[in-house]
Chains A and B, each alone.
Chain A
């Protein structure tokens, strides 16, 4: 069965802090995604990747960087965290046809 893991599961930081969210998938999928989920907005795509070393800009990229180091690992970086980035973050992976995305358990980030 598809497996996507995220760490940490919960994170509290202060405004201006530096945060890295990690995602690992063992599905042998090429595509990986970072979303944020906020009430009233659904799931919004931050960044995504077609494979190691590749990065694509999503729909809400401002304030976020991402890096795909291997096929398995995808990282989301917040270099100057702001309270507006308080959210639930999901990582997902899929085959190239994108027909089904498999989501990780999520990371709840609070920026004070």
Chain B
């Protein structure tokens, strides 16, 4: 079965530090890699996404780094804020399965003030 693996399961960083969340995948035909975040008691929502034509995507404090050769991608959250505390899910999909996302297991991120 296609898999997307995510680590760590939980992560605690101090306010102002950079949080790094990691994902890896197996299927080399995946061509779309989003990150979703989910705040306690709420539903998941798209945060940022990347396609393999690029190896980096930035949106404010959030950056995806993509390594096609190693089949890995990561989310960096710079200058972490307590309001960033949430569960983050990476995912992957491919054009032939339009819209079908395979999600990672999630990383629970806590930011200490």
A residues with a Cβ closer than 8 A to B are 31, 33, 40-45, 48, 56, 58-59, 90, 94-101, 103-106
What are 22 A-to-B residue pairs whose CB atoms are below 8 Å?
A: A42-B89, A42-B105, A43-B44, A43-B89, A43-B103, A44-B103, A45-B100, A45-B101, A45-B102, A56-B100, A58-B100, A59-B1, A90-B43, A90-B44, A94-B99, A96-B98, A98-B93, A98-B101, A99-B32, A103-B44, A105-B43, A106-B43
Main secondary structure of the interface of B (DSSP, over half): loop
Q: A31: nearest residue on chain B (CB-CB)?
A: B99
Interface residue tally for chain B (C-beta within 8 Å): 22
- Compute how far the CA of A100 lies from the CA of B36 in the bound complex, rounded to whole angstroms: 10
* Whole-angstrom distance between the Cβ of B100 and the nearest chain A Cβ: 7
Total A-B contacts with CB atoms under 8 angstroms apart: 55
Q: Does B85 contact A (CB under 8 A)?
A: no
Which residues from chain A contact B9 at a C-beta distance below 8 Å? 40
Contact surface of B with A, Cβ cutoff 8 Å: 1, 6, 9, 32, 34, 42-46, 49, 89, 93, 98-106
